[in-house]
Amino acid sequence: MPLLKNNALVSDTWLVLGNDDVLPATGDVIVPFARLLRDFESLSRRSGKLGVVFANVDRAETLATFLPRLSAVVLHFSAFNDGRAYSLARQLREFGYRGEIRATGNVLPDQLQFMLQVGFDAFEIGDRFPLQVWQAASKQMSLAYQRGLFRRSAESEIWTERHTDAEPWLEQPHAG
Amino acid sequence: MYRYDEFDHQFVRERTAQFRDQAERRLRGELTEDEFRPLRLMNGLYLQLHAYMLRVAIPYGTLSGRQMRQLAMIADKYDKGYGHFTTRQNIQYNWIKLEETADILGHLADVEMHAIQTSGNCIRNVTTDHWAGAAADEIADPRPVGELLRQWSSLHPEFSYLPRKFKIAVTGAPHDRAAVKVHDIGLRLHRNAEGKVGWEVIVGGGQGRTPMIGVTVRDFLPEHELIAYLEAIMRVYNLYGRRDNKYKARIKILVHELGAERFKAEVEAEYARKPQASTEVEERELARIAAYFAPPPFERLPRWSAAFEEARLAQPDFARWARNNLAAHKVDGYTIVNISLKPEGGIPGDATGDQMRLMAQLAETYSHDELRVSHAQNIVLPHVKKDDVFAVWQALDAAALATPNYGLAGDIIACPGLDYCALATARSIPVAQSISRKFADIGRQEEIGQIKINISGCINACGHHHVGHIGILGLDKKGEEFYQITLGGSSAEHSSIGTILGPGFAGHEVADAIDKILETYLKIREPGEEFIAAYRRVGPKPFKEALYAAA
Amino acid sequence: MTTTEKGQIVTANRLRDGIAVFLTRSGEWSEAIDDAVLALEPEAAAGLEQRARLAEQACLVTGSYLVDAERRAGQVRAAHIRERMRALGPTVRPDLGKQAEGKANSFAAPEGV
Ligand code: SF4
């Protein structure tokens, strides 16, 4: 399934493996968190990139030590109104993680902007809505009151703008 | 009062345009109802029994005359000429069309208002003391923090899909008129031994199906840490709050199930873990906001007003209203005027467009252009010169707005109930009307004294029945409405949840039951003892006997 | 003596303005409950539900459901007070809603408190 990244469709080059699927010799793979814990040694010896599917009942801090080695974290929305993954994504960014954070499952255009703001940067969007709807949805609001969001090039943070001569918020890694 | 700058204006305009697009997509069928529902709810639009209902935020209950006039215009042009002021210091319109909603939001934006997050599983309109900035007992005006929280919580990307709705209340006075202990988060300003001010942070209070008093997680949080600390609380709730059962999804259940200590430890751990930004911007933002809430230019006046005293002597009706509906102002020569929206037999909290315009005009002329909405569904003119009170009363009286029952038995809180609300199990308003008629005699109300009678039309408790001195909950028994009575609730500084007295009553029996309860109180009270104090002294027994004694 | 027929009707809210409406025999949606078609058999009720779902897909109405009701002398009365309220308007404002617009009959009225 193609992914939405930086407002464009790109093809998904990752292979998503289950706990006991055979590990290919080359290529980028995404594995369940349990497998990451179990096979971390062998997974990190591979040359391809490594990603993980992280459940929204798992605690972000349990992933922290693996983050330097990861290039993708997949957070799944079983329902669009289950907001746990928003906090998880933001936590990962606060831990300094700069790789891809991908949203899968019930991902809808009207939540896209919030997802971008907390640090998601890749979206499995299916074919329920045309691409233009997604592109429009990603920039409906040009302003945000909150500070420390992850798309400062895209939206202005109102409080920061109002007090531009004040000390900047702690430097945040930008997604993507 | 706070005024929007260009950022605030642009923010609300963009939000309105976004909603217009969403509503059009829904009407064209590009969004399903399931997809659209949370979007419209986050803009305050419900689907109720008769039509759509739009709930407009009145942040921390403060309004200017111009804003009130706009609310009146919306009532007249887009609704049926009236609006309903709610227990959350909001206003609701009952007859709204989806296809006109974006236009209404545009009219609200014109006067620096919106309906953002008046519903949905997000942080709702922040409420506070309706006498903020005027009350004699206040330490500091809580509204700057209210405004700071309004901005911070508006379209918060991390906290827009919480397990359940989230309500924050703020008070700056020792006498708690904001019910901070029965909110998801309550913030109470107080002074420490060195005379510094800080915030007590109370979490996990609430009403609804499982009423609870909140627990204190920080006793004295410095003001500039508020936002960062609240982010930590919200994150813990967002991650660990229950999502499997909507009745167990409020933060009070999480606090209860984890235990106060573990919950606190989770919050502190998250607070310590979050990258600590400089709070300079928050401090400067708060200072910027606070400047808008500088007290209006009060005149230096004697405490005693000859005009006021003369009018009292000359006009017994005015004297009675002044006795019941005025409250002490912090500045000599001024008073707080409480306008009761509870006429005998009326609908609690309803006001017509004309009444709104009159109140707007009185605010402009006599109250430094300010009005407040109280959680008891009344309107407050916070800064009126005693010299002007008589003129204000005359104008109110001519518009049927001078009911002298503020804080008395006729000043009943009632949610819309089954007359309007899609979730209701029984009607609330007719019960309020029958009680109000039963106690039509204001002399009798004065004899009974301060009493809070609160009515909800279902277990969601929008009528705050759990914290009414007398609470009434409407339920459905095999298709018939019946009403459960609780006694002893309070939302003031010694908060308590009322206890159920016994078997419920049919609608037409409720007013008599309340009458018996209050007659019993009159018999047992000690001199000067208010109802709630008497109840706490004697407990439910004499009231039970009076109600359920074998006929 | 007039006979009373018991069955089910379909109600919903009109999408564009939210007004409570009832499915009629001709497949239209009427604000007046007396226009509602009464399904006397479960199969007929299922048929009405199906028609309502199509109307939802066509963006005419939203949130349709079946309601127990009875018809007597051409007037339809919902069994539950909530539905009688929707058919009438708020009992505390007899000057507003369908009851004031000639779209409801007193037969539908809930008993007063
Ligand atoms: S308490 Fe129940 S009936 Fe009353 S307004 Fe709230 S949800 Fe509706």
Q: What is the pLDDT of residues B217-239, one digit of tens each?
A: 999 999 999 999 999 999 999 99
Give pLDDT tens digits for B429-445. 999 999 999 999 999 99
B117 domain-assigned: no
C111 domain-assigned: no
Helix (H) / strand (E) element for B436: namely helix B429-438
B421 domain-assigned: yes
Give me the mean pLDDT over the C39-64 stretch. 96
CA distances from B439 to A150, B192, B397, B465, B511 (A): 59, 44, 20, 19, 9
Distance C92 CA to ligand 1 centre (A): 16
C9 domain-assigned: yes
B404 domain-assigned: no
Residue type, B97: K
Residues in C closer than 8 angstroms to B480, CB to CB, are: 81
C20 domain-assigned: yes
Host domain of residue B198? 142-291
Q: What is the distance between the terminal CA atoms of chain B, rounded to a whole angstrom?
A: 57
Q: Please name the residue of chain C whose CA is at the shortest distance from the CA of residue B510.
A: C113
Q: What is the dihedral of CA B204, B209, B211, B216, to 10 degrees?
A: 0
Give pLDDT tens digits for A56-71. 999 999 999 999 999 9
Residues in B closer than 8 angstroms to C17, CB to CB, are: 51-52, 97-99
Give me the mean pLDDT over the B111-124 stretch. 96
CA distances from C83 to A3, B10, B478, C69, C77 (A): 47, 43, 14, 9, 9
Give pLDDT tens digits for B471-485. 999 999 988 899 999
Min Cα–Cα distance to chain B from A145, Å: 6
Render the burial of B178-203: b for 16+ CB within 10 Å, e for the rest.
bbbbbbbbbbbbbeeeeeeebbbbbb
Q: Which residues of B touch C (CB under 8 A)?
A: 26-29, 33, 47-52, 80, 94-99, 347, 418-420, 424, 427, 429-431, 433-434, 479-481, 507-508, 510
Residue type, B108: L
Neighbours of B177 (CB within 10 A): 22
Give pLDDT tens digits for B177-225. 988 999 999 999 999 889 899 999 999 998 888 889 999 999 999 999 9
C112 domain-assigned: no
How far, in Å, CA of A91 to CA of A74, rounded?
14
- Contact between B433 and C13 using a beta-carbon 8 Å cutoff: no
Give me the mean pLDDT over the C13-35 stretch. 96
What are the respective helix, strand and coil percentages of chain C, to the nearest 5?
30, 30, 40
Give pLDDT tens digits for B457-510. 999 999 999 999 999 999 999 888 999 999 999 988 788 899 999 999 999 999
Same domain, B287 and B310: no
Residue type, C72: R
Say which residue the tokens 């309105």 belong to: B16
Which value, in Å, is the radius of gyration of the alpha carbons in chain C?
Answer: 13
Q: Please name the residue of chain B whose CA is at the shortest distance from the CA of residue A137.
A: B18
Residues in chain A: 176
Q: Report yes or no: B13 at the A interface, CB cutoff 8 Å.
A: no
Distance B268 CA to ligand 1 centre (A): 35
Asked if pLDDT for residue A113 goes beyond 80, the answer is yes
Q: In this complex, which chains have at least 3 CB pairs below 8 Å with chain A?
A: B
Host domain of residue C68? 4-101
Biggest alpha carbon–alpha carbon distance for chain C: 42
How far, in Å, CA of A52 to CA of A101, rounded?
10
How far, in Å, CA of B82 to CA of B92, rounded?
9
CA distances from A102 to A40, A53, A108, A123, C91 (A): 21, 9, 13, 5, 52
Ligand 1 atom showing the smallest separation from residue B420 Cα: 8
Chains C and B touch (3+ CB pairs under 8 A): yes
Give me the mean pLDDT over the A100-104 stretch. 97
Which value, in Å, is the radius of gyration of the alpha carbons in chain A?
Answer: 17
CA atoms within 13 A on the CB side of B194: 4
Min Cα–Cα distance to chain C from B298, Å: 42
CATH code: domain of residue B76: 3.90.480.20
CA atoms within 13 A on the CB side of B397: 15
Q: What is the dihedral of CA A36, A41, A45, A48, to 10 degrees?
A: 0
How far, in Å, CA of B9 to CA of B65, rounded?
19
CATH code: domain of residue B465: 3.30.413.10
Q: pLDDT band at B59, cuts 50/70/90?
A: very high
Q: Total structural domains in chain B?
A: 4
The pair of three-digit structure tokens given for residue C79, joined into one six-digit string: 């069994």
Distance B476 CA to ligand 1 centre (A): 13
Distance B417 CA to ligand 1 centre (A): 5
pLDDT at A173: 44
Q: pLDDT band at B550, cuts 50/70/90?
A: low
Same domain, B371 and B420: no
Q: List the single best residue of A88, A110, A150, A169 to mutate versus B (max B Cβ within 10 A).
A: A110
Q: Report yes or no: B160 at the A interface, CB cutoff 8 Å.
A: yes
Average pLDDT, chain B: 95
Rounded to the nearest 10 degrees, the angle between the axes of helix B541-548 and helix B531-538 is 100
Q: pLDDT band at B71, cuts 50/70/90?
A: very high
B490 domain-assigned: yes
How far, in Å, CA of B518 to CA of B524, rounded?
10
Q: pLDDT band at C74, cuts 50/70/90?
A: confident
Domains observed in chain A: 3-162 (3.20.20)
Ligand 1 atom showing the smallest separation from residue B426 Cα: 3
Q: Total structural domains in chain C?
A: 1
Among the candidates B398, B429, B444, a domain finishes at B398
Q: Report yes or no: B29 at the A interface, CB cutoff 8 Å.
A: no
- Contact between B158 and A118 using a beta-carbon 8 Å cutoff: yes
Which alpha helices (DSSP H) does B298-419 contain, by range?
306-314, 316-325, 353-366, 389-398
Higher-scoring residue by pLDDT: B176, B65: B65
Residues in B closer than 8 angstroms to A81, CB to CB, are: 38, 121, 161
Instruction: Please state whether the predicted TM-score (pTM) of the whole model is above 0.80.
Output: yes
Q: Where are the beta strands (DSSP E) in chain C?
A: 4-14, 20-23, 29-30, 61-72, 75-78
C108 domain-assigned: no
pLDDT at A170: 47
CA distances from B194 to A38, B83, B197, B237, B385 (A): 56, 47, 9, 33, 35
Q: Where are the beta strands (DSSP E) in B353-452?
A: 371-373, 379-385, 413-414
Q: Which residues line ligand 1 (CB under 6 A)?
A: B 415-417, 421, 423-424, 456-458, 460-463
Q: Which range (A158-167, B47-56, B486-495, C75-84) has the least confidence? A: A158-167
B116 domain-assigned: no
Min Cα–Cα distance to chain C from B22, Å: 13
B1 domain-assigned: no
How far, in Å, CA of B266 to CA of B254, rounded?
11
* ipTM of the complex in this document: 0.94
- With beta carbons less than 8 A apart as the criterion, state whether C9 and C33 touch: yes
3-class state of residue B284 by DSSP: helix
Asked if pLDDT for residue A166 goes beyond 90, the answer is no
How far, in Å, CA of B521 to CA of B506, rounded?
22
Q: Report yes or no: C40 at the B interface, CB cutoff 8 Å.
A: no
Q: pLDDT band at A167, cuts 50/70/90?
A: low
Min Cα–Cα distance to chain B from C57, Å: 7
How far, in Å, CA of B530 to CA of B156, rounded?
43
3-class state of residue B437 by DSSP: helix
Q: Which range (A155-164, B261-270, B307-316) has the least confidence? A: A155-164
Residues in A closer than 8 angstroms to B154, CB to CB, are: 145
Q: pLDDT band at C102, cuts 50/70/90?
A: confident
How far, in Å, CA of B81 to CA of B78, rounded?
8
pLDDT at B279: 84
Asked if pLDDT for residue A175 goes beyond 50, the answer is no
Residues in B closer than 8 angstroms to C93, CB to CB, are: 347, 419
Chains A and C touch (3+ CB pairs under 8 A): no
Phi, psi angles (nearest 5°) of residue C103: -110, 10
Asked if pLDDT for residue B253 goes beyond 50, the answer is yes
pLDDT at A172: 47
Residues of chain B above pLDDT 70, percent: 99
Which alpha helices (DSSP H) does A15-165 contain, by range?
33-45, 84-94, 109-118, 131-137, 158-162
pLDDT at C1: 58
Give me the mean pLDDT over the A11-38 stretch. 95
Distance B208 CA to ligand 1 centre (A): 10
B135 domain-assigned: no
Give pLDDT tens digits for B20-29. 999 999 999 9
